Amino acid sequence: MPNLSWAELVRNVHERAGFLCEYCQTSQLITGQAMHVDHIDPYGEDILENLCLSCGNCNLSKARATTAIDPETNKPVLLFNPRSDTWSDHFEWIQQGTILRGLTPSGRATIVRLKINQERVVNAHALWVFSGLHPPS
């Protein structure tokens, strides 16, 4: 693949993700906030295989982490990787789509590290669910 400019990479990452955070499924359409382009491996290359779309909450909480503690086992595990893992294998929406539940050690650790179920986000989820805009189908 030819080298893409950063602007081309950003556009490709947004389109590939459907403008949804690849960790928590927050929609750019709903929030109106600019999404971030996350480096899955923070020391990796600027290539599509190492990039994912992330909301600000997830990206700023993840920072440079690639591992986190699974709250069930208290052991470190790899964070969910949107390029190599399948979202629905690791996560499911519960409580009418307001709370994200981890189905695997990686899913649970990612939810904790990225603070996906923090109160203000859950409150926003409730409004989005009420509006029929969340969770994405």
Q: Smallest gap, in angstroms, from Cβ of residue 22 to Zn ion?
A: 8
Residue type, 39: H
Kindly list the residues in this chain that would bind Zn ion in the complex (CB under 5 A).
21, 23-24, 26, 55, 58
| Residue located via tokens 């893992």 | 85
In whole angstroms, give the CA distance from residue 108 to residue 40.
Answer: 17
Q: Smallest gap, in angstroms, from Cβ of residue 115 to Zn ion?
A: 9
Residue number with CB closer to Zn ion (13 or 58): 58
The dihedrals phi and psi of 132, each to the nearest 5 degrees, come to 80, 15
In whole angstroms, give the CA distance from residue 38 to residue 53.
Answer: 6
Residue number with CB closer to Zn ion (23 or 70): 23
- Asked if 50 and 83 count as a contact pair (C-beta separation under 8 A), the reply is yes
Q: Smallest gap, in angstroms, from Cβ of residue 120 to Zn ion?
A: 13
Residue number with CB closer to Zn ion (4 or 66): 66
Residue number with CB closer to Zn ion (70 or 125): 125
- Asked if 68 and 102 count as a contact pair (C-beta separation under 8 A), the reply is no
Q: Smallest gap, in angstroms, from Cβ of residue 3 to Zn ion?
A: 28
